[in-house]
Amino acid sequence: MDSTVSAPQDLAGRHIVLGLTGGIACYKAADLARELVKAGATVQVVMTAAAEQFITPVTMQALSNRNVYASQWDAREPNSMAHINLTREADAVLVAPASADFMAKLVHGAADDLLSLLCLARPIERCPLLVAPAMNREMWAHPATQRNMAQLRTDGTTILGPAAGDQACGEIGDGRMLEAEELCAEMIAFFQPKSLLGKRMLITAGPTFEPIDPVRGITNLSSGKMGFAIARAAMEAGADVTLIAGPVHLPTPRGVRRIDVKTAQQMHDAVLPAAAQHDVFVATAAVADWRPASLSEQKIKKNGNKVAPTFELTENPDILAAVARMPDRPYCVGFAAESHDLLKHAKEKLERKNVPLIVGNLGPATFGRDDNALMLVDANGHRALPPADKLTLARQLVAEIASRLGKLSA
């Protein structure tokens, strides 16, 4: 597989107006501008006078590669209507950081600076407004701020965050602006088709670890990256996502509910009670087929005669088959990670597991990597998804599942 496959520019062709209001979180806006540009967007920065107390227009101009606007009287606009011109080609306005004062302005339609003016004057039906709150925890918790937040949502504004944690004032609590990478991911998700809106998806990811003794075990090379990418793609598509993960060190996609397990039996015990409450089950995890029949309570030591220890194996529960046998089963998607004869083994697994769709890949060619190539196998045949980064493939798979669900309900 080509190791040069690169991540997509998920915001290519998007034009974002990035508004900055007064707050120490303006330092994060510099990284945010970079992240948005790296994702392919063009970024037009608009700053309030208060924002200029925390970060300079020169910095934001260098990172966005565009002139920064700060005044409604900007003479660079030949018609003196920057508040109109700046949003007419925009796909969205993102205010990050959004101060408590600025959100109050938005609620009441106050427009005494360029940023509030353009928010009011934007074509509301095609230029959505997103705000990332950033303020002291007491300001965030104040009833006035909470009322304003509720009204903004009612008015169609998307609220991103805030997060909880250490604040510049030395206090700890809600009110931190999301990090730049999180906000960029939120923007990418915002523009993804909501093909699974209202659906619930259960996903397994990663390897399992079957202990032999307190320090050793049977496992495999699955990194969990494909399953985590599917979880993110399903969340982007509007699904309510639960991710059951084996022992991996990957960040949980925002908005995804995560349950950590270690062994195949633990994964089975987590999946079975939850499966019936979900519309889709995607069994991405590389579950160990076998486990030691008994666990040594102490580390197995080398012996003097150099004879390797032996132990009996017993079969692990078949999670996908168990879900597929349920009378109220969700739509089941299995994964087949094979080392050879991919199509042959995928077809056999489709029949053996009695599921509508198997996704095949060559395990040794993808374990631990950021790219993959998939083969979709069902009763009608097979179709290849060519090599791409795993998130791109995950979005293609999610779109395929959504299409199949739509046909079932039609």
Catalytic residues: 169
Full DSSP string of 239-266: -EEEEEE-S---PPPTT-EEEE--SHHH
Point out which residues pair with 43 in neighbouring strands: 16
Residue type, 74: D
Residue 100, Cβ density class (10 Å: 0-12 exposed, 13-18 middle, ≥19 buried): buried
State the Cα–Cα distance between residues 93 and 128, nearest whole angstrom.
Answer: 6
Q: Which amino acid is at 336?
A: A
CA-closest candidate to residue 102, choices 63, 72, 135: 135
Q: Give Cβ neighbours of residue 85 (< 8 Å, ≥ 6 apart).
A: 77, 79
Tokens in use for 183?
């906000």
- CA pair distance 365, 339, nearest whole angstrom: 8
Coil, strand or helix: which one is 306?
Answer: coil
CA 166 to CA 22: how far, in whole Å?
A: 19
Distance separating alpha carbons of residues 142 and 138, to the nearest angstrom: 6
Give the angle subtended at the CA of 383 by the CAs of 382 and 386, to the nearest 5°: 145
Tell me phi and psi for residue 261, to 5 degrees: -135, 175
Tell me how long the chain is.
410
Give bridge partners of residue 313 from the DSSP assignment: 292
Place of tokens 């925009």: 90
Tell me which H or E stretch contains 277: none
Q: Which residue has the tokens 């089975």?
A: 268
Q: From CA 258, how far away is CA 399, in angstroms rounded?
A: 22
What are the strands, taking DSSP E only, across 284-370?
290-292, 313-315, 331-338, 357-362
Are the CB atoms for 295 and 211 separated by under 8 Å? yes
